[in-house]
């Protein structure tokens, strides 16, 4: 027996020791993590951001923990203090069975042996930690509440500033939820104490509850109903986020039925809480039961059962009439939340008058029609420009540059280092963290041009980058990029691999400003512990000047600095001033904008978005700058107050970089998705979905097995109707619901002069304009094209149909689609044909110039007057035909100057011929 006791004591000591060690390791890990973060934030110049976030989290955790643990402990201690003694509650009863006596004796033994104060304190601490840990993620919600700015617009139901919903309501809801959890956890501890002390004994009538238990229970239940009264009061505002399938936001039933019911329930709950607190003196167990039954019954009947019946039998028969004002609220506020109200609507006549003269006048548009799709081009880049197996192109970006050849749309990709692609026996710690540290250079090619072999032309290529018409890059190294970048240590006593150079390699030493000093033994130990890598401490390659580069993935880097921003999926690389930069679009989002339809972020129901920030990351030294692109956004104005000095005005961005700012595709897709329905601003039209739009379909695929998919938006350079110059835009055609003809096209302007402006060009509804899928059908039905594709697929090649692009020129539409060939066993797609369509004509030629020449030669022939023949004995006619043929040849060769000269010579001849015919008729 004695040895058993000693064994139990020993096990208890082991358990306490193990618990202390685990807790100590957790605490040490937290502390070292904070130290490493502090050093990193300090190294990049954002120490203030670090302290603001850390202090907010710490204060919120401490406050919630202290109040929660203190409240739960106080409730438990009061229960322990006022609970009756077990033997008082359990007097000897003549009829008690032996089993009952054993159970009672065991309960009395347990109650007498429990260290009540320590146990209650432990329970309070555990519950407090759990509650505090669950609310720590709301640190930014708390800061937004404290630093909020007014929006200046009011909701149409309660007349409150929109800022109340964006900043205050989330805090009130979080506070209400915390109070409910606090009451619930306090009740658990209190019931446990009373139950173990014998004050709650339902199996022993007539006395089932002690007076202390009734008093305490009445107090807690009163607190619960007080919180519920506030909860029902808050629920009035939450009605503005409802969705009954017709109205997003508060509907007729919500405003005329739910709001009065919620007021009634809030008043009933408040009265019930007062009655329960008065019951603390009366100590009747019947009153709490009656109050709970009354409130829950009213909530069920009036809050759950009655509103649907009212909706079905009163609102539904006159739904449009009754819901029209609330549909109008939904339309107006959704358009405001997604900035759809700023979209300008302009007519587009879609006239069939495209001519060679108009092509010449829109040369900038023709020169920038994109023929290269992202995936085929990435495959081609990988085969031609990765150079070594450890380099990788993670994405292809689309941008525009002012080059010697003019304003050109280009596609480019950064050549990053992928350590995982080193040979297995070369993946040593020294190679991965000290030698192979960075990628090098970018590849750039124009969107339209190709070589005679069907490969892209290159403005930038090779290692180190060679410029052939593209921008000169003097610092091509990429220490920061899109890949899964692990940490590297620079300025050690081993040279960094720079790039392959024939049979040898070139080496370099990092000279950027990024990195945390790691030369001392203390810091090496700190980072070795935090990163779980003892080699940092043991390696002899580190020196006193060594620095460690952390968070080298650009999106991870931005998220570490500004976790409150939502990032666009596609950061893009920019070559500017001889260096490489990454531009990352960032959004402020919220799910608390009233009456707005959730359009993205299904997990949290976000219903408000602004592209408020442009983030620039230097690819070499990792510096991060945040620029305000929408300073009017109330969320970013609030964050400016929370983090003073974090954001810079967009005008402070270097002009060379500002020329490459573009409208983000993620935001454009969200806005286009919602605009399909929310371009209808009349409630009656919106209710009936009379003019619902959808994204067009297109055919894309391989081996002739083309599948229909939704057309994505695409960037292009073009001259918008009525404008004087071509500009870089993001556009997407629209078609009617359940139809394939074109109804409109949406454009977002990207160049600095008009950045951020959205325009929708609408077609006449009484005119048929072919949509992309209808053009795809005409391509499929063209016997020459389909036979050629079938022939290629049977000859060991694989045909890849590229994306169809719609090219508005003046008031006409041109359709262009590339066609690639790839050997069955190869990985190198080649651009072999270009398909062009205009009106009801479709052609396929070797190049874009050939396709346009063939297409508009058909147009010119179709437009020739009856009776005119090429052999007409007329000198002017023969000369005009010669100039026309020369113009077509110049167009095929891409000689726009010669093309224009021939057209200039052709015009007076045609005018003279027209005059001759007029004279002849006279």
Q: What is the pLDDT of residues 461-517, one digit of tens each?
A: 999 999 999 999 999 999 999 998 899 999 999 999 999 987 789 999 999 999 999
**CA of residue 226 relative to chain centroid, distance:** 39
Which segments of 338-373 does DSSP mark as H helices, in order? 356-361, 363-366
pLDDT of amino acid 361: 86
pLDDT of amino acid 564: 97
| Residue 165, pLDDT above cutoff 80 | yes
**Most confident option among 24-28, 671-675, 764-768:** 671-675
Of the pLDDT bands very low, low, confident and very high (cuts 50, 70, 90), residue 111 is low
Both structure tokens of 49? 């951001």
Share of residues in the chain with pLDDT > 70 (%) = 87
Task: Report the pLDDT averaged over residues 348-375.
Answer: 89
Of the pLDDT bands very low, low, confident and very high (cuts 50, 70, 90), residue 90 is very low
The three state secondary structure string of 631-652 is: CCCHHHHHHHHHCCCCEEEHHH
Distance CA 603, CA 601 (A): 5
Which segments of 369-422 does DSSP mark as H helices, in order? 374-385
At 211-258, the pLDDT tens digits run: 889 999 999 999 999 999 999 999 999 999 999 999 999 999 999 999
Distance CA 478, CA 439 (A): 5
Judge residue 557's burial from the number of C-beta atoms within 10 Å of its C-beta, 0-12 exposed, 13-18 middle, 19 or more buried: buried
At 253-305, the pLDDT tens digits run: 999 999 999 999 999 999 999 999 999 988 888 899 999 999 999 999 999 99
At 39-82, the pLDDT tens digits run: 999 999 999 999 999 999 999 999 999 999 999 999 999 998 88
pLDDT of amino acid 869: 39
| Residue 88, pLDDT above cutoff 50 | no
Predicted TM-score (pTM) of this structure: 0.88
Both structure tokens of 794? 């049977």
| Residue 380, pLDDT above cutoff 90 | yes
Distance CA 37, CA 28 (A): 14
Which DSSP string do the residues of 596-640 spell out, in sequence order? PPP-S-TTTT--EEEEEEEEEEETTT--EEEEES-TT-HHHHHHH
End-to-end Cα separation, the chain, in angstroms: 135
Task: Annotate 569-580 with b (16+ C-beta within 10 A) or e (fewer).
Answer: eebbbbbbbebb
Distance CA 801, CA 819 (A): 5
Both structure tokens of 450? 């190709």
| Residue 537, pLDDT above cutoff 60 | yes
Smallest CA-to-CA distance from 254 within 205, 321, 326, 324 is with: 326
Using an 8 Å Cβ cutoff, are 339 and 305 in contact?
Answer: no
Of the pLDDT bands very low, low, confident and very high (cuts 50, 70, 90), residue 858 is low
| Residue 206, pLDDT above cutoff 50 | no
Of the pLDDT bands very low, low, confident and very high (cuts 50, 70, 90), residue 917 is low
Task: Compare 141 and 420 and report the one with higher pLDDT.
Answer: 141
Using an 8 Å Cβ cutoff, are 240 and 155 in contact?
Answer: yes
Of the pLDDT bands very low, low, confident and very high (cuts 50, 70, 90), residue 792 is confident
Smallest CA-to-CA distance from 167 within 210, 138, 206 is with: 138
* Residues across the chain: 922
Q: 412 pairs with which residues across the strands?
A: 397, 444
Task: Compare 907 and 858 and report the one with higher pLDDT.
Answer: 907
Using an 8 Å Cβ cutoff, are 585 and 666 in contact?
Answer: yes
Residue in the block written with tokens 């200046």 = 152
Q: 2-11, 530-539, 697-706 — which is least confidently predicted?
A: 2-11
**Domain limits of the chain?**
45-91+106-178, 209-327, 338-353+662-840, 368-478, 561-661, 864-922
pLDDT of amino acid 271: 97
| Residue 630, pLDDT above cutoff 70 | yes
| Residue 368, pLDDT above cutoff 60 | yes
Q: 417 pairs with which residues across the strands?
A: 391
**CA of residue 871 relative to chain centroid, distance:** 64
pLDDT of amino acid 863: 46
Distance CA 11, CA 468 (A): 76
At 795-804, the pLDDT tens digits run: 778 889 899 9
Task: Compare 899 and 708 and report the one with higher pLDDT.
Answer: 708
| Residue 138, pLDDT above cutoff 90 | yes
Task: Report the pLDDT averaged over residues 101-109.
Answer: 53
Task: Annotate 206-234 with b (16+ C-beta within 10 A) or e (fewer).
Answer: eeebbebbbbbbbbbbbbbbbbbbbbbbb
CA triple 700-705-709, angle to 5 deg: 35
| Residue 92, pLDDT above cutoff 80 | no
pLDDT of amino acid 839: 86
- CA distances from residue 366 to 362, 369, 376, 809, 902 in whole angstroms, order as listed: 7, 6, 21, 9, 18
Q: Which element (helix H / strand E) includes 574?
A: strand 572-576
Using an 8 Å Cβ cutoff, are 758 and 748 in contact?
Answer: yes
Distance CA 727, CA 720 (A): 8
pLDDT of amino acid 794: 79
pLDDT of amino acid 104: 54
| Residue 101, pLDDT above cutoff 70 | no
Distance CA 373, CA 386 (A): 18
pLDDT of amino acid 203: 56
Q: 461 pairs with which residues across the strands?
A: 466
Using an 8 Å Cβ cutoff, are 730 and 713 in contact?
Answer: yes
Distance CA 455, CA 383 (A): 11
Which DSSP string do the residues of 440-508 spell out, in sequence order? E-EEEEESS-B-TTSPBP-SEETTTTEESSS---S--EESSBSS-PPPEEESSSSPEEEEEETTEEEEE
Using an 8 Å Cβ cutoff, are 591 and 598 in contact?
Answer: yes
Which DSSP string do the residues of 686-753 spell out, in sequence order? HHHTTT-EEPPEEEEEETTEEEEEEPPPEEEEE--TT-SS-EEEEEEEEEETT--S--EEEEEE-SGG
Task: Report the pLDDT averaged over residues 505-531.
Answer: 94
Residue 110 phi, psi (nearest 5): -65, -45
Q: Which element (helix H / strand E) includes 393?
A: strand 391-393
Dihedral of CA 93/97/102/104: which sign? Answer: negative
Can you point out the beta strands (E) in 242-371? 344-347
Task: Annotate 819-833 with b (16+ C-beta within 10 A) or e (fewer).
Answer: bbbbeeeeebbbbbb
Which segments of 83-198 does DSSP mark as H helices, in order? 86-89, 98-113, 116-135, 139-146, 162-163, 169-197
Q: 20-24, 374-378, 734-738 — which is least confidently predicted?
A: 20-24
The upper half-sphere exposure of residue 846, i.e. CA atoms within 13 Å in the direction of its Cβ, equals 9
Both structure tokens of 533? 């890598």
| Residue 913, pLDDT above cutoff 70 | no
| Residue 4, pLDDT above cutoff 80 | no
* Residue-averaged pLDDT of the chain: 88
Share of residues in the chain with pLDDT > 90 (%) = 70
């Amino acid at each position: 027996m004695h040895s058993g006791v000693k064994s139990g004591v020993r096990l208890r000591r082991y358990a306490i020791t193990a618990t202390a060690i685990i807790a100590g390791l957790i605490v040490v890990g937290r502390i070292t993590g904070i130290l490493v973060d502090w050093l990193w934030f300090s190294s990049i110049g954002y120490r203030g951001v670090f302290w603001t976030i850390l202090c907010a989290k710490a204060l919120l955790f401490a406050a919630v923990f202290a109040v929660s643990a203190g409240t739960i402990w106080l409730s438990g201690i009061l229960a322990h203090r006022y609970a009756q003694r077990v033997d008082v509650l359990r007097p000897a009863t003549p009829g008690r069975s032996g089993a009952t006596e054993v159970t009672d004796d065991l309960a009395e033994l347990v109650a007498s042996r429990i260290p009540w104060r320590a146990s209650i304190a432990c329970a309070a601490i555990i519950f407090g930690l759990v509650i505090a840990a669950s609310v720590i993620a709301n640190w930014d919600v708390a800061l937004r509440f404290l630093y909020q700015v007014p929006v200046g617009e009011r909701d149409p139901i309660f007349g409150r500033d929109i800022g109340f919903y964006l900043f205050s309501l989330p805090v009130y809801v979080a506070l209400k939820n915390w109070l409910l959890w606090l009451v619930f956890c306090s009740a658990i501890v209190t019931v446990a104490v009373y139950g173990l002390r014998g004050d709650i004994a339902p199996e022993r009538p007539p006395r089932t509850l002690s007076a202390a238990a009734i008093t305490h229970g009445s107090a807690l239940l009163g607190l619960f109903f007080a919180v519920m009264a506030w909860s029902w009061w808050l629920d009035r505002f939450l009605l503005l986020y409802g969705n009954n399938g017709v109205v997003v936001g508060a509907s007729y039933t919500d405003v005329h039925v739910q709001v009065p019911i919620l007021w009634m329930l809030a008043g009933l709950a408040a009265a019930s809480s007062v009655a329960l607190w008065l019951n603390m003196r009366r100590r009747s167990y019947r009153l709490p039961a009656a109050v709970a039954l009354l409130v829950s019954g009213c909530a069920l009947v009036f809050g759950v059962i009655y509103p649907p019946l009212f909706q079905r039998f009163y609102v539904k028969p006159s739904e449009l009439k009754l819901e029209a004002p609330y549909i109008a609220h939904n339309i107006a506020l959704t358009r405001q939340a997604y900035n759809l109200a700023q979209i300008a609507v302009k007519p587009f006549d879609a006239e069939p008058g495209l001519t060679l003269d108009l092509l010449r006048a829109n040369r900038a548009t023709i020169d920038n029609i994109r023929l290269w799709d992202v995936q085929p081009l990435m495959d081609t880049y990988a085969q031609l420009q990765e150079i070594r197996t450890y380099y990788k192109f993670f994405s292809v970006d689309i941008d525009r540059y002012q080059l010697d050849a003019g304003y050109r749309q280009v596609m480019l990709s950064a050549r990053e280092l992928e350590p995982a692609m080193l040979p297995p026996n070369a993946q040593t710690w020294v190679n991965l963290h000290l030698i192979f540290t960075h990628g090098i250079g970018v590849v750039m090619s124009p969107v339209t041009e190709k070589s005679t072999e069907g490969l892209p032309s290159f403005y930038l290529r090779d290692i180190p980058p060679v410029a052939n018409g593209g921008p000169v890059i003097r610092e091509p190294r990429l220490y920061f990029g899109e890949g899964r970048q692990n940490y590297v240590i620079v300025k050690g006593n081993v040279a960094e691999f720079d790039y392959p150079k024939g049979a040898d390699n070139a080496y370099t030493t990092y000279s950027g400003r990024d990195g945390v000093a790691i030369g001392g033994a203390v810091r090496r130990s700190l980072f070795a512990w935090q990163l779980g890598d003892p080699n940092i401490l043991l390696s002899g390659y580190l020196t006193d000047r060594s620095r460690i580069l952390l968070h080298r993935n650009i999106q991870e880097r931005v998220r570490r600095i500004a976790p409150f921003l939502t990032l666009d999926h596609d950061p893009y690389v920019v070559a500017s001033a001889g260096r490489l930069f990454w531009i990352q679009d960032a959004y402020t989002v919220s799910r608390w904008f009233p009456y707005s339809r959730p359009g993205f972020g299904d997990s949290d129901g976000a219903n408000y978005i602004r592209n408020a920030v442009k983030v620039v990351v230097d690819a070499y030294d990792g510096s991060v700058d945040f620029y305000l692109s929408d300073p009017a956004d109330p969320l970013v104005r609030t964050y400016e107050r929370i983090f003073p000095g974090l954001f810079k005005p967009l005008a402070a961005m270097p002009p060379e970089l500002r020329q490459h700012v573009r409208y983000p595709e993620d935001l454009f897709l969200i806005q286009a998705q919602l605009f399909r329905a929310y371009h209808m601003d009349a409630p009656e039209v919106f209710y009936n979905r009379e003019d619902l739009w959808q994204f067009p379909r297109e055919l894309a695929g391989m081996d002739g097995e083309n599948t229909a998919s939704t057309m994505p938006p695409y960037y292009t350079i073009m001259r918008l109707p009525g404008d004087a110059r071509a500009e870089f835009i993001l556009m997407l055609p629209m078609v009617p619901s359940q139809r394939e003809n074109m109804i409109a096209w949406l454009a977002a302007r990207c160049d600095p002069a008009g950045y951020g402006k959205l325009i929708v060009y609408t077609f006449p509804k009484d005119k048929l304009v072919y949509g992309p899928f209808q053009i795809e059908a005409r391509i499929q039905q063209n016997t020459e094209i389909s036979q050629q594709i079938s022939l290629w697929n049977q000859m060991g090649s694989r045909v890849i149909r590229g994306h169809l692009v719609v090219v508005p020129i003046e008031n006409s539409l041109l359709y262009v689609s590339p066609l690639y060939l790839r050997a069955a066993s190869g990985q190198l797609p080649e651009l072999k044909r270009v398909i062009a369509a205009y009106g009801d004509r479709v052609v396929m030629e070797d190049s874009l110039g050939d396709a346009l020449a063939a297409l508009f030669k058909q147009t010119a022939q179709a437009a020739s007057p009856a009776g005119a023949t090429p052999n007409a004995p007329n000198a002017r006619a023969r000369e005009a035909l010669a100039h026309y043929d020369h113009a077509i040849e110049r167009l095929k060769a891409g000689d726009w100057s010669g093309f224009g000269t021939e057209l200039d010579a052709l015009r007076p001849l045609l005018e003279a011929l027209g005059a001759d015919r007029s004279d002849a008729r006279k």
